[in-house]
Amino acid sequence: PKVLQHGAHRVGKRTDVEMATWRGYGMGQFIHWGVYSLFGGELNGNYYNGAAEWIRSWKDMPNGVYDSAYKQFNPSSFDATQWAKMAKQMGVRYVTFTTKHHDGFCLWPSKYTDYTIANSPCKKDIVKQVVDAYTKEGIDVYLYFSIMDWHNPDWRYDLKTKEDSVAFERFKLFTKKQLTELLQQYPQTKGLWFDGTWDNSWKKSGAFTDTLEQYLKTLHPGLIIGSRFRADEFGNRHVDATGVLMGDYEQGWERKIPKTYADVHGNDWDCVMTIPENGWGYQKKWLGHWKTTNEILEMTAQCVSLGGNFVLNFGPKPDGTFRPEEVEIAKEAGEWMKINNAAIYNCEYAGWEKQDWGYYTKKTNENKVYMIVFNVPVSRSLKVKPSKNTLVDKAYLLTAPGKTLSLEKLDYDASFIQLPSAQYKQPFVIVLETKEGGEKSDEQKAKT
Ligand SMILES: C[C@@H]1N[C@@H](c2nc3ccccc3[nH]2)[C@H](O)[C@@H]1O
């Protein structure tokens, strides 16, 4: 069988320290900010019923109105340090920030197009200020970059004619130059978050995406790039023709969370999520349901319990401030994380049978399993069934390590933890100190 030339070049997870850091983040922040934020999903009193950052594509958006709007981009209250401090208080450990969304507007003074912040009233290098401020707060920065660029006349959705291919060659060079610029200007960047790579033009550029990814990683050793970037020579994305993930982690979990561990196929992964049902850029009207802090904490626990990270999106207003609902969520989530982050940071899939009360996470390289409890049963008895060859040595509330909880043994491999009678108004964490023992796992038996 032919060997795939431009498929994955690694099978399985990356084993380097940069990826181990990424794996342990637990919680991240996404920020979508740009010209689209000026509209907030609305024009002349009518609301665009799609994601607000897509408003340029709205049939009711007259040509030119969007493309001249950048002349009004002047965020008088933008303060990257305030953003970074809010993120720090929330407890996020990485941020992904939009340098250029599908509309092509660059939030850094790119040398390769005039459609940038340098030609807006703002003039500040927004990307630099965000990278510097978050790095100073100890939050790792990843740069979002949309390959699809509606403003660049050389962008093509498909390559049907010779002219298409000639134009797209120029476009690919432009893309390489902008990415080089971003990595050279903002070297603190830990990774690139690619988007807008689903069209045929990109799917037909598999060899180029392979070469470009290798070039970027040579330029910036340790760089982390997800599976949404590459295509193989047959146009496959995320997973190549032999079924191997292309990229350092599975980047397909957008507004959805895997149901079971089997769904993640042993890959690293993170989920990026909106607070409203959809919409990443600022929206004047949040249509439909807005997630509560408890929902967001449960999604975070769910992701970490399945070996991933949870990334929550914020859409700053045109003036550079956040809407009150987002500020409140960051504050409330941060209060919970301040007390309970041991169960989120540097934790992984525990491999124990899921129970109704909530989620297990396991501290990497330690004999500690955490129970993140969202649903206290009326019996107050929490069932615990460790994985094979693992015993629970001791159990206690994370907030009361001195008060051991009683474990009532059930059948051979399960126990009940009897909760003290109290009002449980917040999700809470129980620590299980574990040790080897009990029923030998099949492989252990085989070894003896
Ligand atoms: C992280 C998210 N990805 C972009 C996007 N565009 C899409 C078009 C079709 C289906 C899904 C999409 N996600 C959204 O605009 C946002 O940036």
Q: What is the pLDDT of residue 270?
A: 98
Looking at ligand 1, which residue's alpha carbon is closest to its atom 11? 254
Distance in Å, CA 32 to ligand 1 centroid: 11
> How many angstroms separate the alpha carbon of residue 231 from the centre of ligand 1?
18
**Interacting residues of 9 by C-beta distance below 8 A, sequence separation 6+:** none
In the numeric block, which tokens belong to residue 240? 């190549």
ipTM: 0.97
Span from the CA of 42 to the centroid of ligand 1 (angstroms): 18
Q: Please report the pLDDT score of residue 443 as a whole number.
A: 66
Cα 359 to ligand 1 centroid, rounded to whole Å: 29
Residue 54 CA: nearest ligand 1 atom is 15
Which atom, in ligand 1's list, is nearest to the CA of 102? 15
Q: Which atom of ligand 1 is nearest to the CA of 280?
A: 16
Which segments in the chain show pLDDT lower than 50? Answer: none
What is the whole-number distance in angstroms between the Cα of residue 102 and the centre of ligand 1? 9
Burial 205-222 (b: 16+ CB within 10 A, else e): bbebbbebbeebeeebee
Write the DSSP assignment of 117-157 as a string of letters.
Answer: GGGSS--S-HHHHHHHHHHHTT-EEEEEEES--TT-TT--S
| 48 CA distance to ligand 1 middle (Å) | 15
Beta bridge partners of 245: 239
* Ligand 1 atom closest to residue 32's alpha carbon, by position in its atom list: 17
Tell me what pLDDT residue 442 has. Answer: 72
Mutate to test the pocket of ligand 1, among 199, 254, 270, 277 (most ligand atoms within 8 A of CB): 254
- pLDDT at site 63: 78
Whose C-alpha lies nearest to ligand 1, atom 6?
Answer: 196
In this prediction, residue 3 carries a pLDDT of 87
From the CA of 51, give the closest atom in ligand 1: 15
Identify which of 99, 145, 195, 197 to mutate to test ligand 1's pocket (most ligand atoms within 8 A of the CB): 195
Q: Which amino acid is at 398?
A: L
Model pLDDT, residue 439: 61
Given a contact cutoff of 8 angstroms between Cβ atoms, the answer to whether 406 and 433 are in contact is no
Please tell me the distance from the alpha carbon of residue 94 to that of residue 141, in angstroms, as a whole number.
6
Strand order in the sheet with 381-384: 381-384, 415-418, 407-409
**What spacing in Å lies between the alpha carbon of 71 and ligand 1's midpoint?**
25
CA of residue 329 to ligand 1 center, whole Å:
23
83-121 as b/e, with b when 16 or more CB fall inside 10 Å?
Answer: bbebbbbbbbbbbbbbbbbbbbbbbbbbebbebbbebbe
Enumerate residues 6+ apart whose C-beta is below 8 A from 356: 375, 377
- Cα(89) to centroid(ligand 1), Å: 28
**Per-residue pLDDT tens over the stretch 16-46:** 999 999 999 999 999 999 999 999 999 999 9
Please report the pLDDT score of residue 441 as a whole number: 61
Protein residue with least CA distance to atom 14, ligand 1:
280
Q: Name residues contacting ligand 1 (CB within 6 A).
A: 32, 51, 53, 195, 254, 272, 280
- Distance (angstroms) between ligand 1 centre and the Cα of 101 equals 10
